[in-house]
Amino acid sequence: MRTVLIATLLAGWSAFSLAAQAPDSGAQAAPQPAASPTSQTPPATATSADPIKMAAPAAATKATPPSTKVYLIGAEDVLRISIWNNAPMSGEFPVRPDGAISIPLLGDVMVAEKTPQQVEEEIAHRLIDGQLIRDPHVSVGLTAVHSKKYYIQGEVNRPGSYDLVVPTTIMEGLVNAGGFRDFANTRKIRILRGSQELHFNYNLVSHGKGREQNIYLEPGDQIIVP
């Protein structure tokens, strides 16, 4: 009897010891340390070899108006000449058909086929050579341009010659002539330019087609509207 009681006590103690060592099923698991993030390659930075990111935007170009210093003077043009501190020799001077102008105390000066700057230098040299002015300051400008013309004839309302003062297309030239008469053949307009003969179809161009025909006029061009 005593032996059985001891065996029962030992068995109970063993069961109690095992229960104490077993983990509590209701307890939450201890948090595990977070895994260290994997190393990532830093984004590449722009270098001088990267043309897309390093190239600077190109500077915008601006069209510059033509300088009067390269304009060739012709007959019927009107020049404005200013000689500093010398009013009698200054003023407006029309270019004669022979290509010369007349300046008081200086006489005739050939200006045709010269630029305004060349005329300034010519007048200054003559003033010095003639001992009229020791150190002249001369300015030459254009007040009227009549030497560059184009001509329109045929079935338009205002045929005649027109000054080519600013860049003018064929279409603009025809507008300046006041439009067409009733029986004008606007499909077969001709432009005579020296030994060349160009063709212009007004009906086509006015509807946005064949725009390559609408070229800029040149001095001496003759527009013929049949």
Domain segments of the chain: what residues? 68-144, 149-225
Question: CATH second-level architecture of 68-144?
Answer: 2-Layer Sandwich (3.30)
Nearest-angstrom CA–CA distance, 144 and 79: 7
CATH topology agreement for domains 68-144 and 149-225: no
**CATH fold of the domain at 149-225:** Outer membrane lipoprotein wza fold like (3.10.560)
pLDDT computed for residue 47 by the predictor: 44
With 0-12 CB in 10 A as exposed, 13-18 as middle and 19+ as buried, what is 160? exposed
Instruction: Give the tens place of pLDDT for each residue, 119-166.
Output: 999 999 999 998 888 899 999 999 999 999 999 999 999 999 999 988
Task: State the pTM of this model.
Answer: 0.59
With 0-12 CB in 10 A as exposed, 13-18 as middle and 19+ as buried, what is 193? middle
Nearest-angstrom CA–CA distance, 186 and 170: 12
